[in-house]
Amino acid sequence: KRPIIIDCDPGVDDAFALAMAFAEDSLDVLAIHTVAGNVPVGYTTKNARGLVKLLGVDVPVAKGATEPLIFDPFFAAEVHGENGFGEIELTDLAPLSPLTAMESYVKILSEAEEKVTIIAIGPLTNIALLIKSYPELLDKIECISLMGGGLKGGNTTSAGEFNFFYDPHAAHIVLNSGLPIIMSSLDATEQSEFHQKDADVLKEKGGELGVLLHDISQSALKFHREVNHSDFMNLHDVMAVLYLVYPELFTTKDVYVKIAYDEGIMRGFSHTDIRLQAENPPNAKVLIGLDNKKIIRIVLETLTGKDVT
């Protein structure tokens, strides 16, 4: 089993990613670290604790950064709801770890006998702080499978994808860390199409978890209907989990990614040098395509434990 730490900001698609990570036999989730992103860290932490309780797993949830490294925080309540879960309030919560996310990284990585994979599906603030504070622990990290960026542009602004736009300095630090990076970019994740009918399958066949995922999806589906005029939402964060288990479902490109971190119209843009004579060697394996039909089926079957054909 591959040891995993999940760094996240739940968040609707984060909740799907967390549920998938716990359901995949080949992954061993050691801890969940939260960060401010979609909503303030108080909510992302509460949502993670609620989900852990509902899933009945014994995994610590440690609270991380409350703000980006340099820029001011802002939130994505229009997509994820004010509380990150489309106003669905979980009241039965797993305990909060007495450790901060940073203390938990240090403890797990320094004690690890095997290298640990980080799945990073929120802004990269915690991980950038770890890289800058404890460089001696980096050789304990197998790779970072992150959701962020887009070679073609963004979703928060025309240039910036939400996680990279939110904390571009952190994204810059992570991409320049020398660690192996798998980057689930919008180029791939926007090809994942999760419809109302898929949410209905979860509700009907997926027990308590299925009902929760259905219910928290309603605000995001509504946002996409009204604002993007699309009848589906993307399961962005799930791809950072699924690539580790089903790499054959994705197309990838090894490229050199540079993050635009200045305030301005390019903030958060993940620029890639695709020239053959590029000076810099690739620093990321970027997911640029995926098999949507198979992926949605895997998600529904894994989360319900039932055949969905």
In the complex, least distance from residue 78 CB atom to Ca ion, rounded to whole angstroms: 15
In the complex, least distance from residue 38 CB atom to Ca ion, rounded to whole angstroms: 6
Using rule CB under 6 A, residue 13 touches ligand BDR:
yes
In the complex, least distance from residue 205 CB atom to Ca ion, rounded to whole angstroms: 25
Residue 203 identity (one-letter amino acid): K
According to CB under 6 A, which one of 161, 167, 187, 198 is a site residue for ligand BDR?
A: 161
Q: Report helix, strand or coil for 118.
A: strand
Residue nearest to ligand BDR (CB): 162
**Near ligand BDR in 235-254, by CB under 6 A:** 236-237
The torsion defined by the Cα of 195, 201, 202 and 205, in degrees rounded to 10, comes to 180
Residues 129, 134, 136, 137, CA torsion sign:
negative
CB under 6 A: which stretch of 42-50, 136-144, 159-167, 243-251 binds ligand BDR? 159-167
Q: Which two tokens stand for residue 232?
A: 């589906």
According to CB under 5 A, which one of 36, 109, 121, 202 is a site residue for Ca ion?
A: 121
CB under 6 A: which stretch of 7-15, 52-60, 174-182, 252-260 binds ligand BDR? 7-15
H or E element: which one contains 240?
Answer: helix 238-245
Q: Exposed e or buried b for every residue in 35-50, given b needs 16+ CB within 10 A? A: bbbbbbbebbbbbbbb
According to CB under 5 A, which one of 5, 6, 7, 14 is a site residue for Ca ion?
A: 14
Using rule CB under 6 A, residue 155 touches ligand BDR:
yes
Using CA atoms, how far apart are residues 75 and 183, in angstroms rounded to an integer? Answer: 22
Report the catalytic residues. Answer: 236
